Amino acid sequence: MNDWELLILSKQSNTQNLSIRYVPSAVEWSGSSPDQGLLGGIWPTMGAEPTTARAPRPFLRTPMACLGGEQHVKQWWSVDGPVAADFTDDGGILVSWMQAQDFLFATVSLPAQPLEEQSLRAYRALLRVLQARQCPHLLRVWNFVPRINAFDDGTERYQLFNTGRRNAFREAGYTLNDGAPAACALGTQSGGLCVAVLAGTRCAIAIENPRQVSSYHYPKQYGTDAPIFSRAAWLRQPSGEDLLFISGTASIVGHRTLHAGDTLAQVKESVNNIEAVLHNANQRAGALLWSLAGLKGRVDIRHAADYPMVSAHLLAQGMTQFCFLEADICRDDLLVEIEAEGQAFAWARDLDRWCVVQVALFT
């Protein structure tokens, strides 16, 4: 009769895990189990008007054209647990949201009205929902700004948007610099301001790019109110894949745009910046978790005619899981922007997430 001691790894936490998928436009959601819930998603309308009416789930449909096929067009965020949907009316601003135990996805779509005020109202309503639902930590934000590079009364519309966002952040007590979420701001040609946010009960770790000035430290030449986002954000997960949210990344070194008018050179510089972000993130993680070939996401191209050249270069870099969209970028001299997500298991690095249990077996 012998006693055997076995080492059994068991979870230290019952927190949920978040995951990301990109699927073809024809695919409909079908969870692998009743407890796997679709939290929300974003995809283009391919020319139709954006979705603004109430829907069973907070999907944000953006008025953008898809280039080169729709293989990775639908972005789905899901969790390994049940979810519930609802709406919040904040002074006439309707926020659609879906919440799980540890995560919340919310959207708001507003009519075309003065942009600074609409930006303030949209973010004010969204941040109130996050706080009321006890899911206050912004992880990733998507902004779709109509005519982003146009001017209203002498001020660029992107700057008006930034001012409204900054005022809402300040009111709600959110950081205006270090620790900001990953984000992007893209231009559309129709509709009003649309914003989607992904938030959690725990915060992500902000990642910056040593090749670039942090966005919230941009000099005043780009506007009175600087943007508020980190170059990337790393979400450690208790028993699933760690997530890396990479903000919209373009041909900016320091704070200046490089290669004005040269789309291919801008794509190459954008990839250089993503590689720098990945290097910094892997260093912070203490392991090689993310690489270019493992990323998925979207590529936003100002001129549709540049799609073949842009896609060919990215495919040559092993970046095969991307959707290509026609969109304006936050600076009028930027021709392309890449946003991405990375997923990677980190159990070998994070054995502190598990406890060792000794079990005696008797025969």
- Condensed to tens digits (0 to 9), the pLDDT of residues 143-158 reads 999 999 999 999 999 9
pLDDT band at 15 (very low <50, low <70, confident <90, very high): confident
User: Residue 362: its pLDDT value, please?
Assistant: 36
116, 269, 337, 339: which one is catalytic?
Answer: 337
- Condensed to tens digits (0 to 9), the pLDDT of residues 290-330 reads 999 999 999 999 999 999 999 999 999 999 999 999 999 99
Contact 263, 250 (CB under 8 A): no
User: Residue 350: its pLDDT value, please?
Assistant: 52
pTM to 2 decimals? 0.91
Q: Inform me whether the pLDDT recorded for 34 exceeds 60.
A: no
Residues 6 or more apart whose Cβ sits within 8 Å of residue 191: 49, 50, 63, 109, 112, 144, 146
Active site residue 70: no
The least confident of 9-13, 46-50, 187-191, 304-308 is 9-13
Torsion-angle region of residue 259: left (phi > 0), alpha (psi -120 to 50) or beta? left
Average pLDDT over residues 182-187: 98
User: Residue 70: its pLDDT value, please?
Assistant: 87
Average pLDDT over residues 195-219: 97
Domains of the chain: 4-361 (3.30.1330.40)
Beta strands in 110-240 (DSSP E): 137-146, 151-152, 155-156, 182-188, 194-200, 205-207, 232-235
Residue with the two structure tokens 């509709």: 191
**Percent over 70 (pLDDT), the chain:** 87
Residues 6 or more apart whose Cβ sits within 8 Å of residue 7: 356, 357, 358
The least confident of 9-18, 292-301, 350-359 is 350-359
